[in-house]
Chains A and B, each alone.
Chain A
Amino acid sequence: MHLVVCAKQIPDPETPPAAFRIDEANNEVIPAQGIPPVLSQFDGMAAEAALRIVEAAGEGKITVISLGQESAQAAIKQVLAMGADEGILLEDEALQGGDSYTTARTLAAAIEHLGDVDAVFCGRQAADWDMGQVGLGIAELLGWPSAIIGKDAKVDDGSMVVERVTGDGFETVSMPMPAVVTISNEIGDPRYPKLQQIMQAARKTVTRLSADELGLDPSTVGDAGARLKLERLFIPVVEGEVELMEGETAEEQAQALAAALREAKIL
């Protein structure tokens, strides 16, 4: 069995709001001083789902793929340290600056390049742009079925069985493989690599592939192939000022709040 985990490196989403800055002239986020980029949370969870399947089967290989800059090696290494076997970094001038479409297209090409993949695991959404479409895009481009917002997945009798979160509970979906699964935080915290695993990961190979090696026409990927054009990136203004309730005791403050809400005809 060969599983792929798609892992993206992103600015730390836990960056305090006060340290979050945008370069409005270039529509870019300015990396916060001293806060290194991280593996997108849900991608670690996607890796966890893939690892559980290989463990349950007692066999299988996991390849982690990232499209990004040189620094995305760190995201790949993190998933390798969790237990994945091989890494692929898609890093190339032609691949930079794309949108969800070009990302899915590039990742799908890498998956086809591997040839024998039984399932792809993605995060439910990358915690930078919060789009939630690359996993489905890969599925559509490869012609595979998919299940999104999974909290667990297992392989049962050759089918991919995914327990997924719905608006009002959970649902179990069974689909033929190869398939794409996207994973949500309901799976729980991903495993934490041991020191020894981190050292082993440092020695695992990370292959680099370019647009050319993937047989991708440069006009269809990266900035040139993007279909969604970012026109403006800005920080929304929060208006208004908080009125803190005065009072010596919690009782006095609570009474002031109840009175204010009554006054405003809210309670």
Chain B
Amino acid sequence: MARNILVVGELEGGELSSTTAELLALGTRLVDGGAVSVTLLGSGAGDAAGAAFAAGADNAYVSSDAGYDDFRSDQWVGAVEEAMGQSSPDAVFIAQSMAGRDLGPRLAFRNDTAVAMDCVSVEDDGGDLKATRSCYGGSAQATYSFATSPAVATIRAKSQDPLETPNDGGGNTVELSGAGDSRSEIVGREAAVSEGLQIQDAPIVVSGGRGLGDPEGFEVVEELAATIGTDKAAVGASRAAVDLGWYPTSQQVGLTGKVVTPDLYVAIAISGASQHMAGCSGSKTIVAINRDPEANIFTAARYGIVGDYKEVVPALIEAVKNLD
């Protein structure tokens, strides 16, 4: 059954975000003869339409109004509503981003329909959409169907593959209105993010937990990352370590922190609670360093060392230096 799909796009530095491309590819897999549309809002939106067509969109609803650059729920909901009015979607896909966490429920409730948050898959099951997401802190997974239309789903970053070969057919661009009123106003902002490689982008993430014992423990974690290479490895932390004030919130990995999917994830003095694993279980290879052989992290790890990190990590730094 042909269905129309609307993807709420996001821009990063004026360019189509990689997650938007993933959502568009998901759209093309489920559209079944209908149309995949995308909304693009903010500076650079008009230029990003080309990238969206290549990533799978048939139609782009754009407004390059800089008023959309900062996410304000009221304005974005208004714009997406306008695009929904024109594209009559059967399903709306939104990234599980900071914007998407707000937009998903707002849009769904405004349209008298349901939203499934943070989905890792959406499938066509005999004509019905079924969305699967993790719950209970990552201990369980739940599959839902939608009793109302459109089905709204926010989708976890990197859970979907982008198109293998870009589309070259182009598409239609439709102008949306500029940003309307917002009841909320952003009155202050503070950047608190580490310089350089971000944990979501790093091919290797080395994380420390409460078992480090003190904030100084992160020094050896950072040294290990630096030895691997600052262009490859970034440093993350468990929530317990962040809550203790040992490491910045922006570096938290997990259910309520960031989701990372590196080639290598090294968990140092982290027990591997389900809520932590929710943020790193998509890693290709997990290495655990923990003095407790019973720690849950070893059930998810490919390689492990049972021992005191104070001895193991310095030794590992030396061993990495001596490779080649």
Contact = CB atoms under 8 A, between A and B. Distances in A.
Contacts of B116: 228
A235 B139 contact: yes
Q: Identify which of A163, A189, A257, A262 gathers the most chain B CB atoms within 10 Å of its CB.
A: A257
Interface stretch (B31-39, B56-64, B167-175, B181-189): B181-189
A136 interface: yes
A115 interface: no
A146 interface: yes
Nearest to B147: A227
Given A17-B274, A170-B192, A251-B318, A104 B109 contact: yes
B323 A243 contact: no
A162 to B, nearest CB: 9
Contacts of B105: 100, 132-133, 136-137, 140
Contact of A147 (B118, B135, B143, B184): B184
A172 B101 contact: no
A244 B299 CA distance: 11
Contact of B250 (A168, A227, A244, A255): A168
A206 interface: no
B140 A29 contact: yes
B302 A228 contact: no
A114 interface: no
Interface string B128-161: 0010001111011111111110000000000000
Contacts of B137: 13, 127, 130
Interface stretch (B44-52, B78-86, B211-219, B306-314): B306-314
A234 B188 CA distance: 43
Contact of A173 (B115, B185, B287): B185
Interface residues on B, range: 35 or more
Contact of A250 (B115, B293, B307, B320): B307
Contacts of A167: 97-98, 193, 250, 258
Interface string B253-275: 00110100001100000000111
A231 B130 contact: yes
A185 B114 contact: no
Contacts of A141: 109
A264 B323 CA distance: 13
B322 interface: yes
Given A130-B255, A169-B250, A226 B147 contact: yes
Nearest to B194: A168
A172 B139 contact: no
A149 B113 CA distance: 23
Contacts of B145: 228-229, 231
Interface in B19-77: 73-74
Interface in B268-324: 273-275, 281, 284-285, 287-288, 293, 296, 298-308, 311-312, 315-316, 318-320, 322-323
Contact of B102 (A148, A236, A251): A148
A232 interface: yes
Given A161-B187, A170-B192, A257-B316, A20 B136 contact: yes
Interface in A8-47: 11, 13-17, 20, 22, 27, 29
Nearest to A160: B184
Interface of B: 73-74, 97-98, 101-102, 104-106, 108-110, 113-118, 130, 134-137, 139-148, 183-193, 228, 239, 243, 249-250, 255-256, 258, 263-264, 273-275, 281, 284-285, 287-288, 293, 296, 298-308, 311-312, 315-316, 318-320, 322-323
11 contacts: A101-B108, A104-B109, A130-B117, A131-B135, A148-B101, A167-B97, A227-B147, A240-B302, A242-B303, A244-B305, A260-B303
